[in-house]
């Protein structure tokens, strides 16, 4: 009961303060930033005087609409730029990372926010779509951007940040797939029907967020602060209108 009370208290009665840091000269990437959390994060970064804010989005048209809205509310122009990124495609993920690495002088902050919660079973690439977008593509992009982040650290004597937008719902995941034989986890995650019942996609979203947490923890254990010049972390946005 204590955890339930804590959850509702933190979600309904605690409002985090708005960021106040100065991002002058910094370049920021936010994925899934044409709506919701990503768009509002991009708006904050723009308000904090970032020199370049990249909206990494699947739809260029929707991204341009978000760019115009952010510019109108912040009064800043020629800061927000739109780049295409389709997290359902590994090629798109790698193409985006390559383009960002070549065209951007620096990357100081990368917020990997793009994610899905699915109502119907679908396969993107070789995995169930929730796993492809929220887990595999997210960390494929993280690894693909890491060299540019490390280059930025060295070139500009700074410490970039790579942030994965996760969720507190990871605590609710039953994660029965963990019982899969060694090396067979993704095969188990691709089973649509288990014990005669279709897999709950609501639980699958929770599992995807748990895998994000486990992955980041494992990464940070293997590459501590002293070995890598990039801060890698997770954030829980909490209950919000998105």
The residue behind tokens 């993704």 is 186
The per-residue b/e assignment along 72-90, b for 16 or more CB within 10 angstroms, e otherwise, is: eebeeeebbbbbebbbbbb
Cα angle 176-178-182, degrees, rounded to a multiple of 5: 145
Contact in structure between 106 and 155 (CB atoms under 8 Å): yes
Between 138-156 and 90-103, two packed helices, what is the crossing angle to 10 degrees? 10
Contact in structure between 210 and 173 (CB atoms under 8 Å): yes
- C-alpha distances (whole Å) from 94 to each of 1, 12, 18, 85, 212 are 45, 39, 33, 9, 19
Determine phi and psi for 161, rounding to 5 degrees: -125, 135
Contact in structure between 138 and 209 (CB atoms under 8 Å): no
The catalytic site residues sit at: 166, 205, 209
């Amino acid at each position: 009961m204590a955890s339930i009370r804590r959850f509702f208290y933190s979600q309904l009665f605690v409002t985090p303060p708005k960021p106040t840091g100065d991002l002058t000269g910094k370049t920021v990437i936010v994925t899934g930033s044409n709506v919701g959390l990503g768009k509002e994060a991009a708006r904050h970064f723009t308000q904090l005087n970032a020199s370049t804010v990249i909206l990494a989005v699947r739809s260029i048209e929707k991204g341009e609409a978000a760019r115009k809205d952010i510019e109108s509310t912040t009064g800043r122009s020629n800061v927000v730029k739109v780049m295409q990124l389709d997290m359902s495609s590994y090629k798109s993920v790698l193409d985006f990372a390559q383009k960002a690495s070549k065209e951007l002088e620096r990357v100081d902050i990368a917020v990997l926010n793009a994610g899905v919660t699915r109502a119907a079973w679908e396969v993107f690439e070789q995995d169930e779509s929730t796993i492809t977008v929220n887990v595999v593509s997210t960390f494929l992009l993280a690894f693909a951007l890491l060299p540019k982040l490390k280059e930025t650290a060295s070139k500009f004597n700074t410490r970039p940040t790579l942030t994965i937008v996760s969720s507190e719902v990871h605590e609710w995941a039953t994660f029965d797939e963990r019982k899969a034989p060694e090396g067979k986890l993704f095969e188990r995650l691709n089973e649509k029907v288990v014990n005669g019942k279709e897999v709950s996609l609501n639980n699958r979203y929770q599992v995807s967020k748990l895998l994000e947490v486990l992955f980041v923890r494992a990464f940070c254990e293997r590459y501590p602060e002293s070995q890598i010049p990039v801060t890698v972390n997770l954030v829980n946005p909490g209950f919000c209108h998105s």
